[in-house]
Structure formats: structure tokens, C-alpha cells
Structure 1
């Protein structure tokens, strides 16, 4: 008599916010897959829909509420998780029919809520989950979260109240996950956390044994070095410019880690940085950037800045523009300040009028676009390594250089690339550039 395998319940997922949220979504789906659930690509086929929310800014909260509303309208059976889960009363006031609400990285609670809403029938006849887990990113790159939470208390940020203080993962566990991801096809590891430079501080930078012998410290430098021995490309995100970051630059010069730093400077004017409760020694930072580039000339630095912070004067803003001329950052994102419920910055005096915020935002974007265009133009004629993200049917391809993280930086558009495959890392001759992107052709094999 044939064994009848029951049809498993299906779960839909809407993941909003930063890559850290995306990793949370992958972990939740991996556990649900192990518990016998299938994934649904649309609302119609799902027995229950998870909405992983972002609650960092009021605009992000509104986007999260809109996503919850859409899921309820399209499916009706919705579970909410993520950063906005801290505001359960707000969500229930607007959507009382939500089945359950959990907070950020509360994996067990959200999985339990799914079990209750749509019980699974675990089948021993099905291979439920790949070794590397389920991914929401393409096969050739993966986000690797090394810690949760943050010990900083920046006046504009509520992340510690949402995700708690710093909690680092053991380095041996991170390296095992990295090995599984690479074995499953990952070519680029994107290292993320709330504060990558602080990794291991809560573990007192203790050491753990490696399976092949030796040991590794719970420290950013040691972890980066070991990851560089596992994956072809390793990219560091959310790095604060602590002194020990200097130790990572030689690893970039050696080719173990990509010559790329994502550093959220947020501003440059000392008075604004003090009100933000962030390090305010901008001159020292400029000196360190120069020293980094002396060691690793190809180092690309991306950052984000807030304009219109309470008390920001025209002199403060001009100071920031002049600092950017000196720093020559490769990639810059800018945000207009907006109050976030629970943030200390809301109580600061001298709010900046919205019209002034808009004007300053336009000026910083014009400034940074010009810097980006000049730095990209200097790459024309060079041969750069490029990872392929997509190949079209007309012989073209799209990829990224070592200076480009997926979805937030520029791209490299290739001609005569029909022979390439997604995930290939190939040398490319750069033929042209604009404000954000490069254009070229793969080097013909000899």
C-alpha cells in the first residue's frame, strides 16, 4: 500500500527593513521548513502570512503598517514580527484581526505562533531543509549576521530598545555557518550586525577552538581573517571606526577581505556629533582614512549622513560638505532627520524646518554625486574583478565590483558577457562610467 504524504501548510513572508531583518526572516523560514512547512510565493497560496516589520523611523513604521494591511486584505491570516512588534497596541488598534505579534529576533515565539495558526504534519519521507538553510537572497551571496543589539546610545536611535544590548555569536558557530553557505554556492559573504567593530566585546574577546586545529578569538579582525579563508569575497558592513579597524586594512591589501568599509559616520560637525552622542573627532577620522588608503589604495568607503538634525546650523552643514570634499567617500546615502518615538533627539531644541532639510538634502546629494562620478571616472581603463548578478538573453550581464554591495551601491554593466554565469567572478575592463555605475567588458580568455 502506497504511503500518502500529507500536503504541508504553506507560509508566506513579507520581509521589510535592513539586511539584519532579512537574516531574521531566513532563520524563521529555515526553522519552519524544518518543521514541515512549505513556502508560498504569493498571498493566495499561503495558509498564514508573516510580516517582518521595521520600526526604526516613523516612515518605516507606516510602511510596515501598510504591508500588514495589504496582507490582511489579500490573505486574512497574518502574524506580525520584527522591530515594530514592540508596539503591539498600535498594531492591534489598527488591525485587531492580526493572529499574533512578536518582537525582533524572537524566533521561538513566531514559530510557535505559526504552529498554532496552521499546524504542520511533519513527514519523515521528505528532505526538509538544505544544510545552508533557506535563503531570501540569490544563491551566490549571503548575509552573515555575527551579533545582535548595540551598546551605543545615539540620541536619534531606538535600536537598543528594540533589539537590546550587544550579544555576539560564538566565532566557531559563525565560521561553521559560513562554510555551509559557501558549500551551498555562496561566493560573497556580507558580514552584518548593528556594530560589527564591537563584535566579541561582550564575550571578552575569548578564543574558541577550530575544528581543523588552532583557535579563533571573538574579535572582528580574527573573524574577518578566518572568513577570508573560507569565501572568495567577504564584505564588512556597519563598521564603527574604532582603533582596531586599522588592523583590518592590511587584510584588505592582502586580498583576504574586500577593500570595502561601510561606516555610518552620520555627520562631521563636532557640535552635531555631540548632540547625536557619537564620536566627534572628525579630524582624526580624516587622517585615518588617508592612512587606510595609503595601505590599501583601492579601499572603497560608503557611509550615511543625517541632515537637518535638531540644532544643525548652516555652518554645521557647510562643515559637513567641506569634510566630504576632504574625505572623498566612494558611496554616500543621506537621510532627512525625522523624529522617532522614544528617541532622545526628539527633546532637543532648535528643530530644523522641513524646507531647510529638503534644501540641505538636495545639496549633499549633489555634492556626493559629483564625488562619486569623479572617483568612478578614475577607474575607466582599469581591469577590475566583478561578480556577476544577472545575465540577459542578449549577451549582456550585470554585476558588481569590490566597491559595490548589492542593492545599495552601484553596478557594473557588461557587454559581450553571454558566456558568463551568475556568481562568476571575472576580470572586467572598465570602458565608461557615470555618477553611480561602471560599464565594461570581460577580459577575453587567452
Structure 2
């Protein structure tokens, strides 16, 4: 049984899971995937191409002919983690290809690890394949190497991430994602729907829709219509909702058009769940971040969403200790949090990131003050979470089973919980016959700060 610590980084993807054994003599590539779910999808695409060419995939360095490290460059701490992973792969294997967000800074990587075979940037799939071919020539056997229709996935069989766009048009001062991944580039809606259909056909019960700015989906295509489907988040959500799987939306900016999604949630077409990156609440802090600052209107929007869909779960992430943040601005954020009553909350302490405009802002906050504010923020968020979960005791929830441990305890999630970043619901009795991916009804009989316990009905 696992608990959810309040300091869990709110951007991390689930750990990659690979179980296939290579056939004798098959060239094998190891994969280490770091960072967010969007990076995990990139890893899945790379591995799908490699599997199609006859490579076996290894979940670690041992026995692999070469290792791909898909890096994260979101924060300096994430960059350090990526460099450590590259160093570990070099020590354990010696033949390492680097890709991902940190790959946008090749000199930074080769300066620390000059022996890497190649460095490519984010979603540069062809360059990664070229590097693999140069290090380990393919040796396909078309009679044996069958590729699953849904491709290679690094998540459990019952849920999958569905990336609908790349890049971002925002210019937030603390973020370098547009520099690494470019401007918004939406996939055609018909292609997204087709991929989702294949995933559901292969047994996926939950689709996690991800992008850097889900609300803006299709804006770069002027919301045109291709093959009968309009490139707009409303139409895409409606089409995905017809497939019979849970559909969960991540990284949704609170634009006015989000209102159109709430009735779909109330009707059960998509999950009543919104992951919205508010980042802060004080107007002055938001202006220094170069983000929309009308958070008072956001409170009005939240109230309107809850009126239409009372069961909606709202998740968000925040930054404390941003340059220039005063104690009064931080207290404003705490008061806003009390009023917003968000269900799931994550928090970063501000870090400088090479290339970010926020590095040059005046009034950087001392580390000890950032830590104090993080502690106070998370204590406030924890109290709100505990009260909201306590109110669920005695109520019936639909939950999806993620795993069952050796003691027969089932780890599940409600409709209000995304994998890894949110809480769990545990069933410790009557789990005989349950399997991962099943959706069952449970009566909640106990609540903690982040997790629930219940009995199967």
C-alpha cells in the first residue's frame, strides 16, 4: 500500500513499465524515461518505431545493446536528475543516446558527459532512430516481431496518455517550454480520435488527454474541420466521450470556452475533472509571471462550474517564492486557496531555469523563505483535501482498479484521481477476482489527508 506524500512533484509521469522478453539474438534497446507524461508519450512513440524495426525493449541497462535516456529540462533540479541518469546509464552500459527536453541544450549535456553517442531534442523521433541505427543495426524477423496495434505503451494496460498537441503559445517568464518544444502545433482531431479508438480496442479503460495547453487545442488550425471532425477541444472531447472509456483532461487553461466542457462532465460524457495550472492568485505576481491575472473572475468561473457539475474535481499546481513575491502576496494566495477550495493541489518552490526571463527579475526570495511558504501552503492544501475527502465517507464511488498487491489490497482511483499525481482509494477486503482495469462501485468508509478506503459493493 502506498501513501501520497505532499511533496510529490506534480509534473511527473508514472514509472515506465516494460515486460516483454527479447528473442535470442534480438538487438535490445534500454529506455529511461524522465519527466512529465508528455515525455512519456514521446518515449512510447520512439519505442513503437524501434519495435516495428525489430528491436527488443529493455526496462533497464543490463542486457541492452544501447540505452536511450529521455530527459527533462523543466527545472534545474530536473536537469540535475537527467544528468545523473545519463551518468548512471554510461556507467552501467556505456552506450547512451540522449533525447528529450534537455536535449535542446546539447553542449550542456556533452560538457558533463562527453561520451554520449548522440544528443537530440524533444520529439525529434527520426534523429533518435538514426542514432540507434548507427549504434545498433536493426535485425528484424517479420515472422516473429509482431507490433501491437496500439503500439508500445509504458503505462499499465488499462490507461494511456493521449497527446493532442505539441508546444505552447504562452510566454510565461518562468517557463522555457516554447523554446524547447516550439509554438502550439495541434494534431488533427480525426487522427487523435483514431488513436483513441485503437487504444480502447486494445483494452484501455481510461484516456488521459495531455498537451501543454489543452484549452487552445486546434487554435493553430483555426478550428477547421477535417474528415468530419472539427479541430476544437469541445468537438474532440465529445468524440472521445463516445468511445466508452473514462476521458480525463489535463493542463486546461481557464479560458471562457472551458464552460462548454462542464455540461459534458455533468452528463457523464467525460470525467468531471479539470487539471488547471493556476500557478498563483495575486494579480501582481501573475503579471510578473506574464500570466492572466483575473483570478477573481476565476473564482466566479469555479463557482459556475460547480453549479453545473457539483461533482467536478479541480486540480492545480502553484509556484511559491516567485521573484518579488511579498508576504502579503503569499497570504493573498492562501486566502484565495481557502475560497477556491480546490480538490487536488501540487506546489513547486520557484527555481531559476537557464534561459527563463524570470531569472533577471528583482527580488529573488531566499531559499529558507521559499521553504517556509511551501510548508505553509501545503499545510493549508492538506487541510482542504482532508476535509473534502472526509465528506465522501458513506458515499458510493465508481473506482478503477490499478493494482492488487500480494496481500490482496487493491489500489484504485476515483473519477477525481489521476494516476501518480492524485490520491488513491484502497480496498482491503473482498478483492477476490478483481483485476487491474476493472471499474467497480465502492462505499467509502474511511478518509485520510489524500487517500480513501472503502468496501466493494
Normalising by the residue count of structure 1, what TM-score does the alignment of the two structures yield? Answer: 0.96
What's 1:438 paired with? 452
Q: 1:200-239 alignment to 2 at 5 Å? A: 200-209=218-227, 215-239=228-252
Shift of 1:392: 2.8
Distance 2:244 2:84 in 1: 38
What's 2:320 paired with? 307
Work out whether 1:28 is the aligned partner of 2:46.
yes
Structure scoring higher RCO (CA < 8 A, sep ≥ 6) equals: 2
> Which digits, 9 at most, give the CA deviation of each residue in 1:78-135, with x for residues without a partner?
0000001111111111111100000000001001110110001122212431110000
What's 1:145 paired with? 163
Report the secondary structure of 1:222's partner residue.
helix
What's 2:5 paired with? none
Size of the aligned set, in residue pairs, is 434
Q: 1:348-387 alignment to 2 at 5 Å? A: 348-387=361-400
What's 1:398 paired with? 411
> Which digits, 9 at most, give the CA deviation of each residue in 1:193-225, with x for residues without a partner?
00000000001001122xxxxx22111111011
Work out whether 1:412 is the aligned partner of 2:430.
no
What's 1:286 paired with? 299
Is the 8 Å Cα contact of residues 402 and 437 (structure 2) preserved in structure 1?
yes
Shift of 1:6: 7.5
Shift of 1:394: 3.4
What's 2:357 paired with? 344
Work out whether 1:169 is the aligned partner of 2:187.
yes
Shift of 1:42: 2.4
> Which digits, 9 at most, give the CA deviation of each residue in 1:288-325, with x for residues without a partner?
10010011111000000000001101110000000000
Is the 8 Å Cα contact of residues 82 and 103 (structure 1) preserved in structure 2?
yes
1:118 to 129, 133, 136: 136
Distance 1:116 1:6 in 2: 21
Is the 8 Å Cα contact of residues 391 and 418 (structure 1) preserved in structure 2?
no
Q: 1:6-25 alignment to 2 at 5 Å? A: 7-25=25-43
Distance 2:341 2:140 in 1: 55
Report the secondary structure of 1:352's partner residue.
coil
Report the secondary structure of 2:220's partner residue.
coil
> Which digits, 9 at most, give the CA deviation of each residue in 1:163-208, with x for residues without a partner?
0000000001000100111111100000000000000000100112
1:254 to 267, 278, 290: 267
Distance 2:151 2:38 in 1: 16
What's 1:212 paired with? none
Distance 1:293 1:73 in 2: 53
Distance 2:281 2:117 in 1: 45
Unpaired segments of 5 or more residues in structure 2?
1-22
Work out whether 1:131 is the aligned partner of 2:149.
yes
Shift of 1:8: 2.1
Report the secondary structure of 2:237's partner residue.
helix
What's 2:79 paired with? 61
Work out whether 1:52 is the aligned partner of 2:65.
no
Counterparts in 2 of 1:231 and 1:52: CA distance versus 1, 3 Å: farther
What's 2:278 paired with? 265
Distance 2:452 2:119 in 1: 44
What's 2:19 paired with? none
Shift of 1:280: 0.3
Work out whether 1:106 is the aligned partner of 2:143.
no
Is the 8 Å Cα contact of residues 53 and 81 (structure 1) preserved in structure 2?
yes
> Which digits, 9 at most, give the CA deviation of each residue in 1:308-356, with x for residues without a partner?
0011011100000000000000010011101000000011111111111
Report the secondary structure of 2:98's partner residue.
strand
Is the 8 Å Cα contact of residues 397 and 418 (structure 1) preserved in structure 2?
no
